[in-house]
Amino acid sequence: MSLLALHNVACWRGGRLLFEGLNVELGAGEAMLVTGPNGTGKSSLLRLAAGLLRPLGGTVEVAPCALADERPALDPELPLARAIALWTPVGGDIPAALVATGLEALADVPVRLLSTGQLRRASLARVSLSAAPLWLLDEPANGLDTASLDLLTALVSRHIACGGAILAASHQPLGGAQWRTLELAR
């Protein structure tokens, strides 16, 4: 079953054509890494998949998805666990997700006090709790230290093993899956 299907997609942004004729198919248990130089449209592609951007042409079919990008999408004034809870469906195990992202000691700390790497991990915790089968990860390794990269690898591995799919944009290789690569060019 396809969790993401882009057919002949074109994207216009910032006054220029970023890409056209793009076809992507992601099924359960599949992961795709989007690479390419700055400004070639990696983040734009993820936003297209998330339904936050409209394609200039082509079609986008997508299963329920969760996006993690540079914006944490968490209320800065709330303690971390409560901010994440606003995104978590009933039954989501927030303490376990905080442990999986190494954030258990920060559950009561306001989001605005978290560091860059901690915020990135908080986004990953939010996504992992979303129950969405498709994860859209924009530079998920940015700002992560070595131990946190291992946590990211474990999260990816578990999601793929559970039949999820991941579309990630990254300038660095990611672990946890057999990544197919899509390279965007200028």
Ligand X SMILES: Nc1ncnc2c1ncn2[C@@H]1O[C@H](COP(=O)(O)OP(=O)(O)OP(=O)(O)O)[C@@H](O)[C@H]1O
- Using CB under 6 A, list all residues that contact ligand X: 13-14, 18, 36, 38-44, 169
Query: Smallest distance, Å, CB 113 to ligand X?
Result: 26
Nearer to ligand X, 20 or 104 (CB): 20
The rounded distance, in Å, linking the Cα atoms of 65 and 52 is 12
The rounded distance, in Å, linking the Cα atoms of 139 and 179 is 14
Extended beta strands in the chain, E state: 2-13, 16-27, 31-35, 57-62, 65-68, 134-138, 165-169, 179-183
Question: CA distances (Å), 68 to each of 22, 56, 59, 71, 178, in order?
Answer: 22, 23, 22, 7, 20
Query: Smallest distance, Å, CB 100 to ligand X?
Result: 26
Nearer to ligand X, 14 or 89 (CB): 14
Query: Smallest distance, Å, CB 76 to ligand X?
Result: 21
Query: Smallest distance, Å, CB 50 to ligand X?
Result: 12
Nearer to ligand X, 93 or 183 (CB): 183
Q: What is the DSSP letter of 31?
A: E
The rounded distance, in Å, linking the Cα atoms of 124 and 98 is 10
The rounded distance, in Å, linking the Cα atoms of 109 and 76 is 10
Query: Smallest distance, Å, CB 108 to ligand X?
Result: 33
Q: Nearest residue by C-beta to ligand X?
A: 14
